A = this chain, B = another copy of it.
Amino acid sequence: MAEPKENVLMEKITSLCKRRGFIFQSSEIYGGIQGFWDYGPLGAELKRNVKEAWWTTMTRLRDDVVGLEATIIMHPKIWEASGHVATFADPMSTCRQCKKLVRSDQIWDMIPENAWAQAIAELCPSGSVESPRLFNWAKGKGKHLAPNLALVRNPEVTLSFLAERVNAPGALPLTTKELYQYLATDQFNATGLMNPCPHCGGELTPPRPFNLMFKSHYGPVESDENVCYLRPETAQAIFAQFKNVHETARQKVPFGIAQMGKAFRNEVTPRNYTFRSREFEQMELEFFIAPDEAIEAVTGAVATPAAKGHPGEPQPNWGWQMWHQYWVEERIKFYAGIGLPRTTLEEYWQKPEELAHYARACVDILFKFPFGTQELEGIAARSDFDLSQHERCSGKPMGVFEEELRTAFSKLPPEKQTALKERYYQARLKYLTKMGVEVAKAGAEAQEDADGLAKGQYIPHVIEPSAGVDRLILALLANAFTEITETDAKGKSETRVVMKFHPRIAPIKVAVLPLLKNKPELANKARAIFESLRPQMMAYHDEAGSIGRRYARQDEAGTPFCVTVDFETFEGVKDGPQAGVKDTVTLRHRDDGRQERIAISELLPWLLARVR
């Protein structure tokens, strides 16, 4: 739960965002529409800068990543292959009394952690292996898989139900399907395990899955055959176009495809301002790598991380773990470059029981928002699940061929060949059986895949750094938000806001101000400087009000630098080491109010070095 102080901070940020045109409620004049937010003039620039920084870092400055811009509406089969049609759902209950809808798994949020710990301690003998395991499961995955269980009302019964599952070998984690089936039974209903409605205390229906994809129809007939979805993530388009890009972009594995764009999730309860909204934007990279077996065949041995931290420049012998760690560190570097240093972030390495079945590892990069520490980006090692799914569902080959691998494989000693093929066979078999392919067929297909590896063919694995633009914007706003209290000569104190954005992402880079509006000499010079800077960066020109007021206005907008044309510009600097020098301006720094004089001729390069 957010502390009151932090809610006050969110209110201040929200208010500033509206007042200065960073963020408005969508359709506000019609009472708004829950979960949708618009970016005003300053917000639109901030967002553009963040996206530009990501795109430049991820594509233009790299040899091994290219861009893609796919449509939001794609063929519905894509979402069958990805699993979204079947399982991209939140559990939802309706109150039989007040008819309100409740996100079933959010009821657990009401339970304080120590109540959990105590209930579990009572159930599992202290020191038993089940205790921490159950606790972690219940806090994480279990919350989603066993939603709405009455831990508040009947902790013992509920926990014994869970413990039963926990203690059954291999039964953890439960699948969503299993659990929903169980929860819908009379047997479960008879247990009295359901939580009451948090609104009125009434009886809730068993949780049922509510698919989060926005659904529509394309073409003139509204039939089941014409159903389409608004993409819930940008990633799938990258997988669907993998072959087209691979064939046209002159890239070979390892390489990545980057995409930014809108995505939609019909959240049951959008919340936390723009953090969890129904329409949002993502920046996703799918970085395709060879399976470890292929790397080993070519380089003799797969490099794995020896230590924490950045593993340096990519090497041909990197296995998926090196690539995963590399991308975690690259992404943290990116955040540091736009004003969120490592100290403002947390890394959360998902536990094995929290991972999706196809994932080998996933790191969440978290930021401490005023409403709690939440995810900015996830970096997942997704095995070859995605391309394999599209190959199976579309019937189109998604693999690649490498002459180098074929040659290397053929030169390996037979026992090494057998060992690598066996490992690849097992990995493929695991995937195929997990996806419900019948045993005999799965065996034959996995064998074919293993034979293919020896011939230089494989389906690429993928590392996926997936970031949310809007939550990043919110993190940047929260991180930049600073209140300062100043006391004037008369002893009157005033609190005002300074938005300390990194110059690279600040909406306005520089404001050019004549000290006085009514002196044509000052005004003309300021205008001329402004016009000279503007083609290179977002600049602002402001003549209205006292200079202190104009500085304060720019502080609120987060403008890192103000340039003031004053009398010394024409008459020469009054004193100090530059005394007598003409054609200088006052350069004011937003963060500490420090002022220095700089030659007009040096202004552009000085600014460019800081704002790009």
Contacts and interface: CB of A to CB of B under 8 A. Distances in A.
Interface of A: 18-21, 24, 26-41, 43-45, 47-48, 55, 60-61, 63, 66-75, 77-78, 92, 101, 210, 214-221, 228, 230, 237, 240-241, 243-245, 248-249, 262, 264, 266, 268, 278-279, 390, 393-394, 396, 398, 534-535, 538, 541, 612
B30 A71 contact: no
A241 B71 CA distance: 26
Find the residue from A29, A245, A248 having the highest chain B CB count within 10 A: A29
Nearest to A535: B61
B220 A75 contact: no
26 contacts: A21-B66, A21-B244, A26-B71, A26-B237, A29-B240, A29-B394, A35-B218, A36-B71, A36-B73, A36-B74, A38-B68, A38-B71, A39-B69, A39-B70, A40-B249, A41-B249, A43-B69, A44-B69, A60-B538, A73-B264, A214-B216, A215-B217, A216-B216, A216-B230, A217-B266, A230-B230
Find the residue from A28, A41, A74, A216 having the highest chain B CB count within 10 A: A41
Nearest 5 CB-CB pairings of A with B: A27-B75, A21-B248, A41-B66, A30-B75, A38-B70
A561 to B, nearest CB: 17
Given A249-B40, A262-B72, A30 B394 contact: yes
A220 B268 contact: yes
B21 A77 contact: no
A512 to B, nearest CB: 12
B28 A241 contact: yes
Contacts of A241: 24, 28, 38, 40
Given A30-B77, A38-B241, 18 more contacts: A19-B248, A21-B244, A21-B249, A26-B71, A27-B74, A30-B393, A31-B75, A36-B73, A38-B69, A40-B248, A41-B248, A44-B68, A60-B534, A63-B541, A73-B264, A215-B216, A219-B268, A535-B612
A308 to B, nearest CB: 29
Find the residue from A31, A61, A70 having the highest chain B CB count within 10 A: A70
A78 B30 contact: yes
Contacts of A390: 29
Nearest to A210: B220
